Chains A and B, each alone.
Chain A
């Protein structure tokens, strides 16, 4: 077990529309088994003990599934490891003496609320624009009435695995939410349950995405590379196809 002494260069911003900037902090004697967020816990306890305000960051499950944690670490959303959220990143991947730069997601539709925390409610509104099957409680048929092949169901699952963290938006030079939106559209377009509302869904969700100010997809595929769930850009192609079909058929 090694120990690390680090310099952290962290974005500090007191509130929405307030000016922000980087501040440097030193943290010493860190254990390499720690997670990245535990390292920030150490910094924060240090700050509290010095009577200054700790760094605000979003986090909850610390298991890579809630999608709450959201930091750009040394220029990459969720840091240097592929397929990993910030909370699942461990300090054994850093070296003693490193300087680590930590910033919030940077994208116009995600204004910075404080320090490393941004507002991701536009993603909720995209789902509200059609990311569901309209089925009231109590009216469902038996679960085995519609067989769904293992292949289709696995494909739908791959899309459904999105944790809604927004790393795709943060990674995209256009701040596009295409991967997020496409994942939900594809999940429901693949499944028989999603067929009845297939057209309205894709139109509603794509329009909402535009309304929220997300940019257009120009196929740089940075989103897939940074997605902690490894969601494939193939779904974006599927979304585009769905969108065109929906519009053609009126």
Chain B
């Protein structure tokens, strides 16, 4: 088993990052100009990293598969971004944000990384304000905050219900400035299909120009993946349609270990599934839980309209079970509680897989104007999709796959187990442990891209200044390109009978049933063989129309689904291996008498890091033992 070196700096937790910054080797301006960095992705992580690296003087090549960097999936984030500013004077601090994040993650993240995240959180807000991001403000002109689940302070900065959009447009504007200067070369509608490794180091990528179908080779002294989450392995999720795992999956197959692949966040407040034609699920921001109250009827199978059910016949089950946090318990807890009620037969709506999120009391207390100022666009979105008016009757919501805490394993420098290959933003596994707190993904993406990677990458590149650019005629490029081409040729020539979409749906059903909100040994075990047969069937029967030499969305999708199938199996293996419950990972075998997740710190206080050993060969699980110095491990309680 490989030994993982997390490279955590020595010293006091609160001093590690500042010591690191003042001692990390620097790359001189002259040398930066000679170094090329490839960034895959233009979401918050990729756009902020690209612009910051370019500002520092590196040559940056940035890629995304959308038609513009501004359309990365980060654009869809609604609720907000956390920072330990303590502007509300409610006792917030770097330590408290650090502590909440570690606890929220159910003690499965690395202390040093999380502390650094909390430390730089304030700088992110400053940076974004300076770019012109129109955050919500108080009447006096200062920045406004709201609270989010799992915490008792107000530290979330927001821009109406479009925080991700505004933050991303800020990062995109910084990126655009560097593109105009020529220090970033931007490649839209290009998809990375493989990493090129030379002498054990990441030295480039193979990308396909999605418009022309051409395969291109690009050299870089380092490669940064910022490719987002893989929640679409479940077919239905709140992620954008094209979000996928290909980049990190190919990196995994080239030696980058995969951290905690099974750690998935199921978000409690999404619009429920309404039919089998459904292509995606829509999130209703968690901020709604600030003022909305969640309930189901006290009577099973109650078919009355919500408005007709009197107050004393409603079960506000979160307030009942968790009086201290009420409707603001963390996401994993809220999701499981909704599932529990529906499984017991108290669900509402036509499918009975929904609970109510009710604003009646908020409207009474604050008035419709205030509620509308806070959540107007979310209410509108709900009405557009369902045709129902949430000012009049409560929303119906149900949990849905939303975020993947798992991802490529990275050390303190955000480097994967492949030298020179970095992973930032949602595609790495770091910081959120087994459950992410609301408004912390935006924080992490921007922390990684603006304030962490630009420093830590210097540690590696300072030793690489003498490496000249390697020609893309090198055989490693040749081999990787041929593999990418061959896979697409095989897909197109398969002459099968089933659409890519149908395989994706089948995979999603297996994952949701067996590796979703509740997991157990028998189901996980059988899921492995189900996925293996699905993989076999895929390569025998998939039908991909069209050609390789022009725009072919079906071909793109086919490659992504092929990778999702393999990733699905790894996720299931990880979920099976971890027989404790922690955060969003709920093993039915491991629960308290009250049905809460029961951790097993003695056996599972580690991050799993899976190592690829070959196609259809069982991967090896390595582990990084977690050390806790600053916090004491307790059973999480929100009661």
Contact = CB atoms under 8 A, between A and B. Distances in A.
A245 interface: no
Interface in A20-63: 31, 33-35, 37-38, 41-42, 45, 47-49, 51-54, 56, 58-63
B545 interface: yes
B543 A150 contact: no
A128 B172 CA distance: 10
Interface string B375-394: 00000010011010000000
Interface string B126-169: 11111110111111111100000000000000011010111001
Interface stretch (A72-80, A138-146, A216-224): A138-146
A198 B164 CA distance: 25
A53 B545 contact: yes
Interface string B66-80: 111111010110000
Interface in A79-95: 84, 88, 90, 92
Interface in A114-156: 114, 117, 119-121, 123-124, 127-129, 131-144, 146-150, 153-154, 156
A138 B122 CA distance: 11
B275 A33 contact: yes
A31 B278 CA distance: 10
Contact of A140 (B73, B129, B173, B550): B129
Contacts of A54: 545, 553-554
Contacts of B85: 143
A63 B176 contact: no
A38 B173 contact: no
Contacts of A133: 130-132, 173
Given A38-B278, A63-B76, A137-B127, 19 more contacts: A15-B551, A34-B275, A47-B545, A49-B543, A56-B553, A59-B241, A60-B241, A68-B67, A84-B384, A120-B67, A124-B69, A124-B188, A133-B131, A140-B129, A147-B137, A147-B140, A150-B137, A153-B134, A164-B68
Interface in B76-111: 76, 85, 87
Given A60-B66, A60-B240, A153-B135, A148 B141 contact: yes
A160 B134 contact: yes
Contacts of A67: 68, 70-71, 75
A59 to B, nearest CB: 6
Nearest to A60: B240
Interface string B13-46: 0000000000000000000000000000000000
A66 B65 CA distance: 13
A121 to B, nearest CB: 7
B207 to A, nearest CB: 17
Interface in B547-566: 550-551, 553-554
Contacts of A62: 240-241, 279-280, 282
Contacts of B143: 143-144
Interface of B: 48, 51-52, 55, 66-71, 73, 75-76, 85, 87, 123, 125-132, 134-143, 159-160, 162, 164-166, 169, 172-174, 176-177, 179-180, 186, 188, 211, 240-242, 274-275, 277-280, 282, 381, 384-385, 387, 450-451, 454, 499-502, 543, 545-546, 550-551, 553-554
A33 B274 contact: yes
B131 A143 contact: no
Interface of A: 14-15, 31, 33-35, 37-38, 41-42, 45, 47-49, 51-54, 56, 58-68, 84, 88, 90, 92, 113-114, 117, 119-121, 123-124, 127-129, 131-144, 146-150, 153-154, 156-157, 160-161, 163-164, 187-188, 191, 193-194
A147 B142 contact: yes
Given A62-B241, A161-B162, A143 B125 contact: yes
Given A51-B543, A193-B131, A137 B454 contact: yes
26 contacts: A34-B277, A48-B501, A48-B554, A53-B554, A60-B240, A61-B75, A62-B279, A65-B76, A66-B76, A67-B70, A68-B66, A88-B381, A88-B385, A90-B384, A90-B387, A113-B211, A120-B67, A121-B67, A124-B68, A135-B127, A141-B130, A143-B135, A144-B87, A160-B132, A161-B162, A187-B134
Contacts of A193: 129-132
B52 to A, nearest CB: 4
Contacts of A150: 137-139, 141
A65 B87 CA distance: 30
B138 A137 contact: no
A117 B134 contact: no
Contacts of B87: 144
Nearest to A83: B380
Given A37-B279, A135-B130, A135-B131, A61 B73 contact: yes
B160 A48 contact: no
B162 to A, nearest CB: 7
Contacts of B75: 61, 65-67
A70 to B, nearest CB: 9
Contacts of B384: 64, 84, 88, 90
Nearest to A51: B545
A190 B209 CA distance: 39
Contacts of A63: 76, 282, 381
Most buried by B among A41, A129, A140, A193: A140
Contacts of B180: 128-129
Contacts of A68: 66-67, 71
Given A60-B242, A157-B160, A123 B134 contact: no
7 shortest interchain CB distances as A-B pairs: A147-B141, A132-B173, A140-B130, A143-B129, A140-B126, A128-B180, A157-B134
A156 B52 CA distance: 25
A92 B160 CA distance: 28
